Structure 1
Amino acid sequence: MSDKATQFRSDMSDIIRHIYKLPVIFMTKVLKNNKTISENYALLGKLINEHLDLFPDKKKTLEICHTGKFLMFFDNLTILEVTEKPDFILFDGNNQIGLEHQIIVESKSKEREGFFENIFSLAEIELKEDRELPNFLASCYIEPYANFKLNEKEYLIETVKKVVKEYVLNNNFIENPLIESLFIQPHTQKNIHANMGAWWQKNITLEAIENAIKKKNAKISTYKEKGINTQWLLLVIGSSGDSSFEMDKNLKLEMETEFDKVFVLEDLRNVLYELK
């Protein structure tokens, strides 16, 4: 079939979808990264190191790392500028591309993870000031069904401090309602790691994907005010924890979006999907 005939069929399909208000269906495509581990490691540093030095805050650091992993799937894309609205301006050697970044998590599980991470972080800060304690790394496994209220925060911080200190100094585990078990090893600092234990990641749903796109769609006119007409959206899933999702490889995006391309990066597995 000639290029003109192919284009004609595509145009007619668009007209029919518009008349009957049919959804646009985009098939999920898996992008390949054929580089070796050492090549990827070197490339990631080249892509992000100079930007990490300029943005030490945790949120932007995570965005930069995700974007660097995303760019490793391409041969000619670099970060031209780290901005806001959109989050990044990319450059392919000829054109600038706006890239917006969004992490998708299951909010209820994320709230629980954040609550416990905050408890252990605050306990760690106080234990760092305890001169009785040598340096250590404490891996604390949280009771799988532990559930506490916000007004119990101080009690939980004191519990963590008491349990960890007793175990570090005397190798004695104090029974408590928060920490199921813990493991201590030598370290260069005093650090506590909260381990949520095993989790079962759920497949991402079409609704979760579409809600994330809709949220960013509302802002795309603001992104284009910078004069960058090509706009991409990077959705990130698949980090550690019960709040994370796995990709459903059979997912088909069935919605209109002004983003020129929509990608999903499965973080820990380092797999990139192109939805549009």
Structure 2
Amino acid sequence: MANALPHIEDSNKTTYLPPVGTYETFADEEDYAEKVREWGLSTTKEVKKQFWYKEATFQRQVTIIGYQTYGKTDDYYTVIIEFEDGNLSCIHPAYLKEMQSPSFTKLVTSESENSPTETVPTKTVEEKAAPAEPKTKEAKPKKEKKEKPKKIELPEDKVHFTAVVKQFAYSWNHFNEENDEVVVLENVRIEQEDPIDIGLAWCSHSKTLKKFELSPGVSLEFDGKIVKKKLPSGKDVEEEFIISDPVPYKINNPSKIVKS
């Protein structure tokens, strides 16, 4: 039986990638559980709180304390992990998931042993390109400019919403490679001194929401944080659970929910 890697806290053997700027923290235990399951890092009833950070010769225990989003629609995540000595580092959730596998260190060791140490020079062949024949461009009729929809300035903090349940749907989660249950909302409106009409938005069909036994047409009031994140379509789902219209915004952690 192979010896397990030692659990060490020699920080000089670890390369840290500390977060740049601010990062999101979890609103509560339910928010933490939802995110960790979304990233495929826990499938048990009791969500995991500690994870292994592994390299070829050692492993260390870490906890997840937050995350950062990136990409044009904030579809991608970087997880912020904290080591037992207090150091912080960034890591992609899929890579952290790989580290939880018992065979991860064997794979790292194998890759490092098999990596080439010498580079073989390659010959470059220059080819003369044949002159291209001049093309005559046909005049295209000018298209009428369409008015772009007014850009919505989303608030950064939690705000109060009113909305109506449009439908239930399934959304593909590329972290755990499964469909997640979601609620699609219509007539979404941020209620403030100058109200903002959002239109369509979505949120996870969490345990909290399931307690309200929602159905299409039900009106809601709640607090939450809204971000620009398009709802991915589900895979191999029944027609009634397919999203027919693009849904560009996501509402995170709805709370103080009132059903009417």
TM-score (norm 1): 0.19
Indicate the structure with greater helix content.
1
**Larger-Rg structure:** 2
Q: Which has the higher contact order (CA 8 A, sep 6+)?
A: 1
Give 1 or 2: higher strand fraction. Answer: 2
